[in-house]
Each structure stands twice: as C-alpha cells, then as structure tokens.
Chains A and B, each alone.
Chain A
Amino acid sequence: MAVLKKLALLAAAVLLASCGVRGKSQESVVRRRLDGEPKTLNPILTTTDSEQVVLALLERNLLDYDEKLNLVPGLAEEVAASPDHLTYTIRLQKDARWEDGTPVTSRDVVFTLTTLLDPKTPALTRRALFDGFVKAEAVDARTARVVFSTASAGRPDAFNLPLLSAVAWAGGDVATHPRNRSPVANGPYRLGSWEAGRTLTLVRNTQYFGEKAAPEQVIFRVVPETAPAFAALQSSELDEMRLTYAQKKELDARAGAAGAPRVVTFDELSYSYLGWNNRLPIFADRRARRALTMLVDRESIDRNLFGGLAKVANGPLPPAHWAWDASLAPWPYDPKAAEALLDEAGFRKGPDGVRRKGNVRFAFTLSLGMGSDVQRQLVELAQQSFRKAGIEMSIQPLEWAAFASKMDAGECDAWAAALNLDPNPDLAVSWHSAQTPPAGLNSAFYRNSEVDALLDRLKTAFDREETRTLLARVQALIHEDEPVTFLNVPLTKWGLSSRLTNVKTSPIGLFMFWPGAAGWRTGASTRPIS
C-alpha cells in the first residue's frame, strides 16, 4: 500500500512539473488557430481560409487592401492603368526581396501570370479575374506590363495578387510542386516549420522590405473543433479564434478579469438568406416572395438567435460595403399584410389549409447544409410562420458537399445559406440572368432585364460615384423583386488574448487586409532594427 502511495505521489509530481513547463509562455510568439490544415501554400492555388490567413503573413500582394478596402501599394509601388483600361503597368518596390535575399522582379510577375493562366493550372479562385488576358511582359527588372482585350472596372482587384518566385517554382507541375509546401516568402514572415496536421511555425523574415513585424514567431495550430479551441483561448494556449454567440457571452461574463481574453465584434461582407427558385410557379410572383419575407420575424430572430448581434438585411449588399444603400427599409414582419399579398397573387387557402393557385399547392422543400444549429433553428421558426399562413415547407438537411452541389446546380426548390462577398463583389455572378446554373451562381434563376443592363454597365463603370449610383439602383430593384429572402447580417465575434495590441478589423475580417495580423503586437514584442 505504501508503495502504491509513493507511486501516486511521484506521478502527481511529474504531471504538475510538466504542466509548469507547458504553461510557460513565450511572449514574443503569437499562437493562432486554424480550423483545418492548409492544403497548399502555393498562393495561386489556394482555396481555403486556412491557407489564405497563413499566406497573408508570408506573401505581400502586388496591391493590398487596407482596412477600408482601398487598394494600396504592396509588392508593387504602383499599378497604373492606360486610359483605355486595357494595359496595366506594374512598377515593383525597389527593395522587395524574397526570403533568400534575391530581388522580386518583373520576371516573377510574368511567371506568376503565365502560370496562373496556363490552361493546365487548376487555379480555381483567381483566374476569372483575368478574363480577357492577352499577355504579360517584362519591361525592365522592376516593371511589367499586362495587356487585356477587354476593359473591366473590377480589374484593379485582380492585382490583389501574390507572386510565385520564378526561380523557386520553375520546372515541374505547379499543382504538385514540392514548393507548394515550402514557399519562398516575400512578406513579414517566412515558413520556419510545418508539422503535418498539427502546427505551422512562421518566423520573422529578415529580408522583408517593409516595416518588420513585432512578434518574432507566429505559430498556427490546427484545431478543428471549436470547444477545445475555446478552452485553449481561455488558458492562453491560443491568442485568437472566431467565437460563437455562446462563447462570446461566456467571455463577456469574465470581462475585466486579469488575463481574460477580450472580444471584438465587427461587420463583415456577408449575409444569410433563404433562397427561392424563381422558376417554380410558387416563387415566380414577386408578391409571393415578398410575402415569404414578411412572414419571417427577422428582428426577433436577430434578438433571440443572435443575441442582438445581427442586423436585418435589406438587399444584396451588406452594411459593411461602401455602396450599401441604407435608405432601403427591409420588408417588415407583417403576417396579415403577407397573407393579403398571397391572396392577391392568387394563392388562396384550400380545404386542407394549404394555399393553392389552380392545381399548384404552395408546398416545397427547403434544403440546407448540416452543421449550423442556428441556421436550423432559424429555418424551423420560418417553417412555423409559413404553416400559419397556409404554406407547407418541409426541411431537408443535407451533408454539406451534397447541399452545395445541389444548390450550385440550381436543383433546390428553396434553400438556406450564407454568402461571403469579395471587397468589390461582382453582383452579376449571383443576379445576372446569364449567370443561372450551370454558367454561374444565380441559383434563384432571378431575371430582371433592367438589373441585367445595370450589371452590364457596372462592368465598365470606372468612376466610383457612377458605380455607387448604379449599385444603388440594382439594390433597389432587387429589393423590390425580393428574389430571395435576405435574412440578416450577423456581426463577426472574435476572441483575442488580452496581451495582443494594435488589432484592427475590416469588412473582410482580421487578416486579409494590410497589415492585418502583421501589425499585431504582444506585451513583450520587440521591434527589431531593420
């Protein structure tokens, strides 16, 4: 018995001692969470957020977005458009260097664009921005010229483009190149190590041409589940993570306690919606679609499901977008008026309590991807409201990939989803009648010739005020037509270690603008002499 006691004491001592070692923090290190492992660090092949947030510290773009989403110099000190907007001249920063000390040159620009636009390169997310590309050529070591056959107002956003080193990526298949897991950096950090499935360690890049980052290291840890990540945030093993509403409430309750993480909330370019397939007879009449929106108590949903941390959406642009039209009042929650609209549209209650117009019953299936409890609750609340108004909606939860595939193919009667927008989104992708599946993402099969004409004009609207005017009209028309029910714009909630300072937010989050996380400081950060 005595031996057992001694063994137990020894085991306890070993555990406590090891915990002490574990708990010791390295103050010039920022520990961040990835909810999935990056698949590649090839900047032109990335698709996931996990890849992009790592690359945001490794590679500067030719032009970067600032926190207000203006394009500002990055690797390029200037990207100048010709008067006809067909030729862009890129002038690189004089001191821009790769981590091995070699300069970033126009050859890298040409190599990147040629690789990106090679038909054999599976670059899924960036190529569409270079529609009409003719050629890229080096003028001198620091200057490159890119020529297009068509002018596009959205073209400058294409130059929010990271580069591949022509030397490092030369030879071999770009999709399977070994450099995809050991990229050559030109940003404030370089890749120190990558422990597959666990951590990526970034260390300060001594060759970086700009202001040096304050923390010496950034350690990204792959933590797929939110509960362990939250425990790690609270025990200072992680410095940041996206929060759920419940987690935010828990941190709010600890606000002010020594060392407790703090919460930041901000608007992002996203909104959630209920999609209606406008080709179906029940959704073809805009009075019926408006009625559906007016049957959903979005303010109550925002209060009860989002704790007041959401706004009612009024159209295809969220409030964080510079051209959002605040004057458009969202359709009100008004079941009586909604029922009157349904009557007016010819959908009258039948003997079974379900509305019908001729032989068409107002009954449909709404699909949604599994995984979000809030979305599921929201849809169930809508289902109850619809039922009271004589509309029969069944809910079909689908595995996410199956759901996305069905939605993108335009095969859903109705669906619940959320949409994230780019800084200068091309609304044509979602609302132009030429962009119905399989050509584009207009899964609602929305058609309005005036909207089409405006969206076409927007492609060549180079003046910001003209763009604002056109976008205001597009928003108004889509608001009137209500092709989908625009639900709400939830605030993004982020938990941050109290030792982090100089954290800024933007409508595209905390990381994808400049300087983003590269500007963070920790309590003990030391800024090196550059």
Chain B
Amino acid sequence: MIRFAVNRAVSAALTLLGVLALVFGLVAAAPGDAAALAARAAGNRAAAVSPEALAAFRHLYGLDRPLAERFVTWVWRAARLDFGRSLVDGQPVSLRVARALPATFALNGAALLLACLIGVPLGIAAARRPGGRLDRISGFVCDAFFATPTFVLGLVLLLVFSGWLRVTPLFADTESGVRGFLLPVATLSLTSLALVARFVRVCVAAALADPAALAGRARGERPSEEVRRALRRSAASFAAMGAVLVPSVVSGSILVERVFSLPGAGGLLAEAVFARDLPTVLALTWCSAIVVVAASLAADLVAAALDPRVAREIEAAVPGVAA
C-alpha cells in the first residue's frame, strides 16, 4: 500500500508538471502580447503607444527572454512558492492568489458539501424504488439542473431572489456575510447535485441488485442494513466520483463568481487569461491542478484501501506507476 501511495504521488507530481508545461505553452502561443493588450485596455483608443514603453513593459516582466528560460525560471521559483509578479498590476502573484482563494475554497467546499448532503440521500431513496415517483421526479429535476448552464441558473436565481424578492443581497460582500454566499453556493451545488444523485442512484441500485444483496435479503436483513452494505460496496465508485466532481465544480465556479461579483480565483483566472498574464495563469493552474490531482490521488488511495484489487488494477493500467 505504501509503495502504491508513493508511486501515485510521483505520478501526480509528473502530471502536475505536464499540466503546467502545457498551460505555459498554450498561453504563450496564444495570439496577443501582454504589453500590447495592456495598452489596448483603455478601450480601443486610437492613441499612439510609445515603442519604448512597450519595450520597458516587456523587459520588466521578462517577456523579452526565451520561452524555455522563462518556464524553467518559473518552475524553479514556484517550487519555492515564489510565483513572480502579475503582468496586470505588478503585484506579487502569490498575494493576488492568496486574496482570491479563500472565497473560492469557501464557495467550492460549501457547494460540494451541500450537493453531497442532498444528493446522496436523494440517490439512495431513488435507488430503493427504481421507477417510483421519487425516482422519476428527482431524475427530472436533477436533469433539468444539470442541463441548465451554470451562468444562466445563477443569473435567474440572482434576479429572482435578489432583484425581485430581495431576500438575498445582490453582492456577496463582507457586510452581507454568509447570506451573500447563499445563492452562489446554491447555484454551484444544484448543478453538481444532479451528478451526485444520479451517480449514487446507479451505484446503490446496482449494489442492491447484486446477488450478495439478494442473499442478504433472503436472510431477512432490514432495508437500512441492505443500503449500508450497498454503500460500502460502492465506496470505491464514490471516491472516483469525488475525483470527477472536484474539477467540475472548480470550473463551474469561474462563471458563478462572475455572476455574483465574488472576487475569487475563477474571476482572477479569466482576467489573467484574457490579459495573457502568464504568471497569474500558471499560479492558479498550479493551485487548481494540485487540488484536482490531490482529489484523484485521494480517490485512488481510498479505493485501494477499501479493495486491494483496485491498487493492482491501477498499477497494471498505468505502467509508469508500477514499481
């Protein structure tokens, strides 16, 4: 198990480095130069920009150095948690990211928790009576939420509850405290709820249809005991679902933050990509990749701890992981 954990950790680190190299390459190759874009930010003004000022901007942020050198320097510094300075405002990237992350973590964490608190019981209830009224209604509602774009759902909730009914604040600021987070969390969790509920339903329904469950029922096990066993049998699948859910929620939060004027990492990432602010993009990628890779690693470790056959399967499937 320890060897498996070490191998997976090494694999995760390589994945992280690969993701960073890919993002670096993509943003650097994208058309649009950060200096020229900064000059353009004054809103399409037809004013001359001095070439010396552009050169000074590029030199200040090292944009005049070769790409490979810039990447290696960045990785070397990032390993010491020094992410450089933002091309947008000259501030240390770590400061900008540190300011944005708490809101994003709070939003994502609360949304995941809420989605699980509602989705797991809903999925179990639906699985116990497949095709029943609850199964059909919850399936329809969950599918509707899943199919609705996060941006649209957030906007509708905002306009109804904040604009029309005025029971929640329009802006999530410190004045409004927890109330300001109600709608963003609801938006993000409703879109994830469908995934959780449907996944749990399928897993539990399959486990309940398993011959072992039938045998248990024949022995006179109570329904709650059946469900408990079914959940235990599905634990590895739930762990895998968690690994899928985390990136999906993280990406959804970019739009939710924008709709609710939440100054989080999502908004910061979008702004950085549009401005070609590579240091900020890389730092945020570094953070989100760590979360996603850690979630994936945790899922594998949980699955392996619950069922040693899983570890062997993963090792067999990923040659680099095998010792």
Contacts and interface: CB of A to CB of B under 8 A. Distances in A.
A198 B263 contact: yes
Contacts of A124: 35, 38-39, 49-50, 53-54, 57
Interface stretch (B116-124, B170-178, B302-310): B170-178
Interface in B50-101: 50, 52-57, 59-60, 85, 88-91, 99-100
Contacts of B47: 125, 128, 422, 425-426, 429
B44 interface: yes
Interface in A1-32: 15-16, 18-19, 22-23
A22 B172 CA distance: 12
Contact of B46 (A19, A196, A231, A441): A441
A258 interface: no
Interface stretch (A232-240, A338-346, A381-389): A232-240
B222 interface: no
Nearest to A50: B41
B159 interface: yes
A420 B59 CA distance: 29
A248 interface: no
Given A39-B89, A121-B56, A420 B45 contact: yes
A52 B42 CA distance: 9
Contacts of B275: 401
A332 interface: no
B267 interface: yes
Contact of A405 (B37, B56, B103, B258): B37
B49 to A, nearest CB: 6
A257 interface: no
A223 interface: yes
A401 B263 contact: no
B45 A422 contact: yes
A419 interface: yes
B162 A231 contact: yes
Interface string A439-453: 011000000000000
Contact of A39 (B88, B171, B176): B88
Interface string B12-34: 00000000000000000011110
A1 B163 CA distance: 32
B222 to A, nearest CB: 26
Given A47-B38, A124-B35, A430-B46, A197 B99 contact: yes
A228 B60 contact: no
A175 B267 contact: no
Interface in A215-236: 221-225, 227-228, 231-232, 234-235
A19 B173 contact: no
B140 interface: no
Given A234-B163, A401-B31, A49 B43 contact: yes
A69 interface: no
A429 B88 contact: no
A404 B159 contact: no
Interface residues of B, number: 64
A224 B258 contact: yes
B88 A420 contact: no
B158 interface: yes
Contact of A232 (B60, B89, B171): B171
Contact of A418 (B42, B44, B53, B175): B44
Given A127-B50, A401-B275, A421-B46, A222 B261 contact: yes
A221 B30 CA distance: 32
B90 A176 contact: yes
B90 A175 contact: yes
A122 B53 contact: yes
A181 B167 CA distance: 35
Nearest to B58: A122
A138 interface: no
Contact of A235 (B55, B170, B260): B170
A464 interface: no
A197 B100 contact: yes
A37 interface: yes
A48 interface: yes
A405 B48 CA distance: 15
B9 interface: no
B276 interface: yes
A176 B85 contact: yes
Contact of B90 (A40, A131, A234): A40
A432 to B, nearest CB: 11
A361 interface: no
B233 interface: no
A123 interface: yes
Contacts of B49: 124-125, 128
Contact of A222 (B38, B263, B276): B263
A422 B33 CA distance: 24
Contact of B53 (A52, A123, A225, A419): A123
A409 B274 CA distance: 18
A512 to B, nearest CB: 11
Given A22-B169, A419-B44, A228 B259 contact: yes
Contacts of A231: 158-159, 162-163, 170
Nearest to B49: A124
Given A122-B53, A180-B89, A425-B46, A406 B31 contact: yes
Interface in B234-269: 258-264, 267-268
Interface string B255-292: 00011111110011001001110000000000000000
B261 A225 contact: yes
A49 B263 contact: no
A402 interface: yes
A426 B38 CA distance: 20
A124 B38 CA distance: 8
A414 B315 CA distance: 54
B63 to A, nearest CB: 11
Interface of A: 15-16, 18-19, 22-23, 36-37, 39-40, 47-49, 52, 119-125, 127-128, 131, 175-176, 180-181, 195-199, 221-225, 227-228, 231-232, 234-235, 237, 399-402, 404-406, 408, 417-422, 425-426, 429-430, 440-441
List 6 tightest A-B contacts by C-beta distance, closest first.
A197-B263, A401-B32, A231-B163, A122-B57, A39-B89, A128-B48
29 contacts: A16-B167, A40-B90, A48-B42, A49-B43, A119-B52, A120-B59, A120-B60, A124-B49, A124-B57, A125-B39, A176-B90, A180-B89, A180-B90, A195-B174, A196-B263, A197-B263, A198-B173, A198-B174, A198-B261, A222-B261, A228-B170, A231-B158, A231-B159, A235-B163, A404-B36, A404-B37, A418-B44, A421-B46, A422-B47
